[in-house]
Amino acid sequence: MSIELVDDFIESNQQRYLTLSDDIWRYAELGYHEQQSAAAHIALLKSEGFRVHEGVAGIPTAFVAQAGSGGPVIAILGEFDALSGLSQESLALACCPSNEIANGNGHGCGHHLLGTAAHLAAVAVKDALERAGIEGTVRFYGCPAEEGGWGKTYMTRAGLFDDVSAAITWHPGVANSIMNMESLAVKQAYFRFKGVAAHAGASPHLGRSALDALELMNIGANFLREHMIPDARVHYAITDTGGIAPNVVQPNASALYMIRAPRNRDVNELYERVCNIARGAALMTDCQLEIEVHSACSNLLRNHTLNELMQAKLVELGAPDYTRQELEFADSMHRTTRAEEIEMAGRMLTAAWRDPKALFDRVDALDNDRPSRMHGSTDVGDVSWVTPTVQCMTACFAFGTSPHSWQWVAQGKSGVAHKGMVLAARTMAATALELFTNSLLLAAARTELHERLAREPYVCPIPEGVEPPLPRSA
């Protein structure tokens, strides 16, 4: 199927989507708080003729927009959540908060680009299906709270991907490549200790310190590190210290733990060991313990068939050309990154990146046999267990820029970011269109997933009864 069928649409309609992306960069809303961002997507999708189901999976900012009818059903996944504390002036070469962003947040992972490119790809596919008279359904999934809230896992648990033939998405990055990687599964849980308050000077023997319990739990978890598999990760944030008064025996203390490992079953084993450490700490201090699962997501399953298809489209489209101004800005930004960051970015590629240029101006080769290991997590993981899923990455930032940094936010509205976003939309649309017309390829991708699931069936890592961690006002 010819790429021009979707490409012409994207070429002549892209300006509206660059504006949408820039608007969402400015809204910079945190996970499950993305009211303005979701509303902007939804309003545009309705005007484009999509049928939109809002508030799906019990999440006010989650939605599914659909066009066409019958099968196959191709899903294109979008995100739009920002990160706390990363407000940053656009195009600035130093760390400084932006006056444009009132809430102090920032798009440190580029999800404003992610959601908008996915949206644009879905509209281009809808247009192509209608013009060419191709049967099938295209869906744009508005997926909230990728950053630690794992919206897609809740959406998967709600069955929203059960009838999907294949799913396509991308992530903004520093290179043009297929995301041929394995991510870590993760489980997040609150550990809350309850003790007895007392005067810390006059009657400490009457008190039972929840803060002591929490400190002992953290020490236990830190001793656990030597005896867990090397790719596992355990992090925690203390969410309640029990107050600021040292002369009170703290009656409450809690922490949010993130436990990551290559597979769900590794995570579950490690989680049980962390729970035992917490129980031990409660016993030592004579405190009560409450454990509450917050959220979770699965490791990513790669699909070789879809990887090869998307790679072919990416190679056919090729890297964008850059203006002298874009190259100079990227060069300046590149100089704010450290050698270790450049080396780290190079590890995601199949061949070492020794070119001194600040912008990755080619398409990386695909080696399905040698995936890279990402020690982060993504809720695309759960989608990949229920439908064949593929992701690409395009160069939106100077090579070596780290995600979740001020530099990532500063470059989020640059010409390079816009070009990367448009390339991602073109690649996703071309990949989707091929799947609508090449039933053999789609069948091969589905067989590959089913063979994998025959060895290990999918079990949603979020237990039934655990609800999405929505803001209280939602």
With respect to Zn ion, which residue has the nearer C-beta, 88 or 285?
88
- What is the nearest approach in angstroms of Zn ion to the Cβ of residue 114? 7
Residue closer to Zn ion, measured from CB, 360 or 408: 408
The minimum distance between CB 404 and Zn ion, in angstroms, equals: 8
Question: Is residue 31 within 8 Å of residue 149, measured between CB atoms?
Answer: yes
Smallest separation, CB 79 to Zn ion (Å): 7
109 binds Zn ion (CB under 5 A): yes
DSSP class of residue 208?
A: B
Distances (CA, A) of 328 to 251, 395, 423: 57, 16, 21
| Nearer CB in complex with Zn ion: 111/192 | 111
Total residues at interface with Zn ion (CB under 5 A) = 1
Residues 88 and 97 sit within 8 Å (Cβ to Cβ)? yes
Task: Using the minimum distance from each CB to Zn ion, give the nearer residue, 33 or 446.
Answer: 33
Q: List, as one string, the DSSP characters of 297-352.
A: EPPPPP-HHHHHHHHHHHHHH-PPP--HHHHHHHHHHHTTS-HHHHHHHHTTSSS-
Tokens of 93: 């070469």
Dist. CA 360–CA 97, nearest whole Å: 27
Measure the CA–CA gap between 127 and 298, rounded to whole angstroms. 34
From 101-109, 244-252, 289-297, 359-367, span contacting Zn ion (CB under 5 A):
101-109
CB count, 10 Å around CB of 414?
20
Taking the least distance from each CB to Zn ion, the nearer of 110 and 242 is: 110
Identify which range of 104-112, 189-197, 210-218, 228-236 contacts Zn ion by CB under 5 A: 104-112
Residues listed for the chain: 474
Give min distance, CB of 341 to Zn ion, in A.
17
Q: Is 380 in the site for Zn ion (CB under 5 A)?
A: no
Considering the complex, what minimum distance in angstroms separates the CB of residue 27 from Zn ion?
Answer: 16
**Whole-number Å distance between alpha carbons of 20 and 14:** 10
Residue 441's H or E segment, with its range, is helix 439-455
Smallest gap from residue 349 Cβ to Zn ion (A): 18
For Zn ion, which stretch binds (CB under 5 A), given 107-115, 132-140, 221-229, 318-326? Answer: 107-115
Residue 243 or 376: the one with the smaller Cβ distance to Zn ion is 376
Measured from the CB atom, is 109 or 300 closer to Zn ion?
109
CA distance 221 to 155: 31
Q: Where are the alpha helices (DSSP H) in 28-144?
A: 35-47, 111-132
Residue 109 beta carbon to Zn ion: minimum distance, rounded to whole angstroms:
3
Do the Cβ atoms of 182 and 261 come closer than 8 Å? no
Enumerate residues 308-367 that contact Zn ion by CB under 5 A: none
Stretch that binds Zn ion, among 4-12, 20-28, 105-113, 383-391 (CB under 5 A): 105-113
Residue in the shown chain whose Cβ atom is closest to Zn ion: 109
The binding track of 28-67 with respect to Zn ion, each residue x by CB under 5 A or -, is ----------------------------------------
Query: What residues form DSSP beta bridges with 238?
Result: 255
Query: Do 185 and 377 form a contact (C-beta atoms < 8 A)?
Result: yes
Q: Does 433 bind Zn ion (CB under 5 A)?
A: no
Choose the binding region for Zn ion from 48-56, 68-76, 102-110, 192-200 (rule: CB under 5 A): 102-110
Sign of CA dihedral 44, 50, 51, 56: negative
How would you write 356-415 as a 3-class SS string?
CCCCCCCECCCCCCCCEECCCCCCHHHHHHHCCEEEEEEECCCCCCCCCCHHHHHCCCCH
CB of 62 to Zn ion, least distance (A): 17
* Shorter beta-carbon distance to Zn ion: residue 109 or 396: 109
Segment near Zn ion (CB under 5 A); pick from 103-111, 118-126, 214-222, 385-393:
103-111
Nearer to Zn ion among residue 56 and residue 109 (C-beta): 109
Name the 3-class secondary structure at 451: helix
Q: Smaller CB distance to Zn ion: residue 109 or 470?
A: 109
Which spans of this chain sit near Zn ion (rule: CB under 5 A)? 109
